[in-house]
Amino acid sequence: MNSAPEGPSRRRAGEMFDRIAPRYDFLNRVLSLRRDVVWRRRMARHLPEGAALRLLDLATGTGDVMLSLCAIEPRIELALGVDVSSGMLSRARVKIARGPGRNRGRDAAAPRCGLARVDATRLALRDASFDVATIAFGIRNVIDVDAALREMRRVLRRKGRALVLEFSLPGNALLRELYLLYFRRVLPRIGGLISGDIQAYRYLNETVETFPYGEAFCALMRAAGFVEVRAVPLTFGIAMLYVGVVV
């Protein structure tokens, strides 16, 4: 059973992200007040133990998560980012060419980074071939959430981890109302003004409000075969980092 609505916007999400790709990174920083940078750093703290880690980043977009984790964590040896949006992947290729960033240290070898235009629900990758699978603000965009989680589980090795970063709704009633006011009224206007595509940023609000979060999403991860599943609230619950382990 797929717990997320299949609305037509999700079916054409790839086309929408193609349209907004040129301003996507800039708008992420502006609309999140740069909290997206902090959230990616928090993801790095939950990487699995071990050396020579192999990272798979689903819905990689412009490669922000993949490249940020590679810059922070020198144990990452290989990273593969997959997405259905060719426009986003084009931006990611440019960023990969610049290198993983300056935080790895001079003695750390640069990881091998690759990209592929692949659907998160049909990865066409070998079983148990990665140590960590990440997806940031992309799981709510896939039509079959359960299938995407099962694919993440399938490609992870024993003791591998799935890290899912996604928007949620704050538990505090007043904060939630202020947050929803921003999401419904302010964010679409700013996003539309800068990107030229107001519908794309209305889509963001609509998908966040209809997507399962907290314990409801943890239940989906357990159903997909993950254990030790937990939800880590970020910035007063505006976002959640979900962690699941493979045994």
Q: Flag whether 2 is in a domain.
A: no
Residue 82 covered by a domain: yes
Considering the domain boundaries, does residue 33 fall inside one?
yes
Q: What is the pLDDT of residue 182?
A: 87
148 within some domain? yes
Q: Is 236 a domain residue? A: yes
Q: Which domain holds residue 77?
A: 8-168+212-245
> Taking the complete model, does pTM exceed 0.85, yes or no?
yes
184 within some domain: no
Q: Convert the chain into a string of H (helix), E (strand) and C (coil).
A: CCCCCCCHHHHCHHHHHHHHHHHHHHHHHHHCCCHHHHHHHHHHCCCCCCCCEEEEEECCCCCHHHHHHHHHCCCEEEEEEEECCHHHHHHHHHHHHHCCCCCCCCCCCCCEEEEEECCCCCCCCCCCCEEEEEEECCHHHCCCHHHHHHHHHHHEEEEEEEEEEEECCCCCHHHHHHHHHHHHHHHHHHHHHHHCCHHHHHHHHHHHHHCCCCHHHHHHHHHCCCEEEEEEEECCCCEEEEEEECC
pLDDT tens per residue, the chain (247 residues)?
A: 444 444 435 666 777 888 877 777 887 777 787 888 899 899 999 999 999 999 999 999 999 999 999 999 999 999 999 999 999 999 999 999 886 555 555 445 678 999 999 999 999 999 999 999 999 999 998 989 999 999 999 999 999 999 999 999 998 999 999 988 888 888 888 888 877 888 777 877 788 888 999 999 999 999 999 999 999 999 999 999 999 999 9
186 within some domain: no
- CATH number at 241 reads 3.40.50.150
Q: Is residue 182 part of a domain?
A: no
- Tally of domains in the chain: 1
